[in-house]
Structure 1
Amino acid sequence: MSRSPEVHLADVDEPLLEKLLDLAQRDAAADEVTPPLGAGTGWNAERVQWFRAYHRAAAKGVDGPAGEQTWAVLCGGDPAGSIRLKRTADPGTAETGIWLGRSFRGQRIGTVALQLILAEASRAGLRRIVAHTTAGNAGAQRLLTAAGAVLTYDDDDDAVSAAVDL
């Protein structure tokens, strides 16, 4: 069995925000990290602006005004991606999502980051974590299943929902 990489979560401050943005622009498709904004599918000024505003708003934590927190996923001290928790309308439940730079995928970093976020959620008093992906994202489905998630498939819109009870 391979050894898990050294992975930590870090609050996203301004210097780390710029490192995450640099990583995202170099090593991830814009559509993996931001909603569709502006012209085209690549990185543009609107997506960069959204990225910064999103992480700044989420800096106040799950109990802050945004009801959401993001963390940088650090591997060996370097940013590898980002993971989040966002409160849902269901008390005790939060949604999670993760993106990793292409060069960090397939190394168990996502597995360790998800375990860390489940521990954060438990410490925050949450009872359930949900996530959403597409039917074609086999990597995300494997990651969620390994964390104990029950997957539900919606063939009508190519969606997969996951739930982990803490």
Structure 2
Amino acid sequence: MNAYIDHNESGRAGDLTRLGQSFDHLHSLAAAQVFAYMSRSMHNTDATFSQINVLFRLYRHGPQRIADLAEGAHLSHCATSRLISRLEKEGQVDKQPNTENRRERLVSLTSEGLAYLKDLQQKTTAAYVTLFKELPPALRARLQEVLDDVLALMPPPELPG
């Protein structure tokens, strides 16, 4: 039995669906390595998926109110407040007064939080390198050329800086 979920059991998928399934398959192979790393890193630091999600939201959107983080992460305000307190104790985030409303505090990513995200990005890149290194060099070069063309048409990545 193939461990990969077969998205198209009834026959050949349409071009876009097939392309999506192909990328999903590649992603699942890389994600197995990345998730193993995340599981180990979360176990060592007791980080949760919700905490990592909030760190990425802060990276992508900048400083935010706890209410906005709660809404974006689909968590209650109370759960998000506890999550932020824990991340603050770990040095991943800090809270500063909102200059537009002194009753509010804005949560922002610290250099330690950014370092964690950069490390996760490096592990993701390494997973894809491991995946593609077994391909023949000519095929890797063709794949890179196609991806360069595709990526030129996509929005810029939001990479930890």
Task: Please give the range of the TM-score, normalised by the shorter of the 2 chains.
Answer: under 0.3
Q: TM-score, normalised by structure 2?
A: 0.26
Higher percent of residues as helix:
2
Answer with 1 or 2: which has the greater Rg: 2
Higher percent of residues as strand:
1
